[in-house]
Amino acid sequence: MKITDLKCAVLGQNPIIRITTDAGISGFAEVEASKSYLKPHVLFYQRFIIGEDPTNVERVMLKIRRLGSFKPWGSAVSAIEMALWDLAGKAAGLPVYRLLGGKVRDRVRVYNGGVRSGMTDYSPAAYADDMARMKAATEGFTIIKQGVGFHSPMPGHVPDFFYGQQDGSLARRGPLTERGLKHVIACVEAMKNVLGDEIGLALDCGPGWMVPDAIRLAKALEPLNVMWLEDLITGDYVPYVSADLYREVTHGTSTPIHTGEQIYLRQNFQDLIEKHAVNIIGPDPCDIGGIAELKWVAEYADLHSILIAPHGVGNGLLGLAALVQVAATLPHNYIAFEYPVGNPEWWYDIVEGLPDPIVKDGFIEVWDRPGMGVELNARAARKYLPAGDEDFFD
């Protein structure tokens, strides 16, 4: 079997990858909705993989891994890797989890991710109301993550929140005022008062925090037993790791510290893991280099007693399928992955093979169909193809 083409089209906002073969089998994968501009970068790799045997996933990946980079550019490499696994599983007639070593668990825990109730404002009362709505969600999540601090509009809604410049961008960074720090703590307390010890609370915090403020926040929240504080120092679209700074925060508190969604390849997790710079890593399969790369990093983290809670909020329904497959195979350091949803709603009409409901009591049952176990319905999806991509399914 040989690869005959690599195609990419944007469905809605998500770039979709299709790898075709001379055996008539295709593999599919999906890129985050925030990266609709990535199609040319995906197609850059076309000349490197045509003619290769797609079932030799590692051989193909060795040709293109070095040509990727930190978020967003590693997404193209990652999506190609996941499409290769989908193809290899279909060729073998096996679910991808079997190709990755088999199941550790029959169902995988997820946290809310793309399921949000919407905030009216960013006061403690509003955060409490949001948790009450999330607690009542039909998915029955056992962990709920919410954005606070720099990973929320909070700095623009709380007067004198921090000493840095408020320019409306996502690159906000600076020391917090006493008022700002107290506001974050009050919001977390309000959320915990609603959730109690029934549902775990995880906090997406940045990036943007200075180390002293990060330590002060983490220590103040110790009595509340939050699941983790995510991306305090670095994170979304930050092209470096800063393991030494994370280590300073982690070793200054008993509150678990988490990062890793933007990091590309195992080599860039090495310092975080070997230096015990964080308690939890959160690689995104659509940024780290794919699902086999994520599994390798998870196993290495497990050797160092570091937990894993994979990212993936924007990865769409094909990304959801990939996360289910790899999460089934991860070691016992696995907590839960961030649940991606289909957006717009018509995604649920064009993807076949998902259970209904997808999430029950906070878990997804691992399915056993070949490949990633889901398929794009070409007939239903064609009407959403943009001009110029009409031949994507041909």
Question: In this structure, what CATH number is given to the domain that contains residue 55?
Answer: 3.30.390.10
Residue 133 falls within a domain, yes or no?
Answer: yes
Would you place residue 168 in the very low, low, confident or very high pLDDT band (cuts 50, 70, 90)? low
Same domain, 74 and 142: no
Amino acid at 392: F
Give a yes or no: residue 16 inside a domain.
yes
Residue 219 resides in a domain: yes
pLDDT tens-place string over residues 2-46: 999 999 999 999 999 999 999 999 999 999 999 999 999 999 999
The mean-pLDDT minimum among 109-113, 152-156, 221-225 falls in 152-156
Residues 269, 124, single domain; the answer is: yes
Scanning the chain, the segments in alpha helix (DSSP H) are 39-44, 46-49, 57-64, 74-92, 96-99, 124-135, 154-157, 178-195, 211-220, 243-250, 270-274, 285-288, 291-303, 316-327, 347-350, 378-381
| Residue 70 lies in domain | 3-93+376-384
Residues 310, 194 share a domain:
yes
Q: Decide: 106 and 366 in contact? Cβ < 8 Å.
A: yes
Predicted confidence at residue 167, as pLDDT, reads 67
Rounded-to-integer distance, Cα 211 and Cα 234, Å = 11
Residue 393 lies in a domain: no
Claim to verify: residue 89 and residue 224 sit in the same structural domain: no
Residues 32 and 176 grouped into a single domain:
no
Residues 16 and 143 in one domain: no
Domain count of the fold of the chain: 2
Same domain, 253 and 339: yes
Task: State how far the Cα of 256 lies from the Cα of 248, in Å rounded to an integer.
Answer: 13
Residue-wise pLDDT tens digits, 258-279:
999 999 999 999 999 999 999 9
DSSP 31: -
Is residue 394 in a domain?
no
Q: What band does 164 get if pLDDT is binned at 50, 70 and 90?
A: confident
Res. 169: pLDDT tops 60: no
Whether residue 283 is found in the same domain as residue 152:
yes
Q: Mean pLDDT score of the chain, rounded to an integer?
A: 97
> Is residue 392 in some structural domain?
no
Q: Establish if 189 belongs to a structural domain.
A: yes
Task: Give residue-wise pLDDT tens across range 54-99.
Answer: 999 999 999 999 999 999 999 999 999 999 999 999 999 999 999 9
Considering the domain architecture, whether residues 125 and 268 belong to the same structural domain is answered as yes
Please indicate, yes or no, whether residues 39 and 168 belong to a single structural domain of this protein.
Answer: no
In a domain, 117, yes or no: yes
209 and 290, same domain (yes or no):
yes
Residues 126 and 161 in one domain: yes
Q: What is the CATH number of the domain that holds 102?
A: 3.20.20.120
| Distance from chain centroid for Cα 276 | 21
Does residue 144 register a pLDDT over 90? yes
Which tens digit of pLDDT belongs to each residue from 197-208?
999 999 999 999
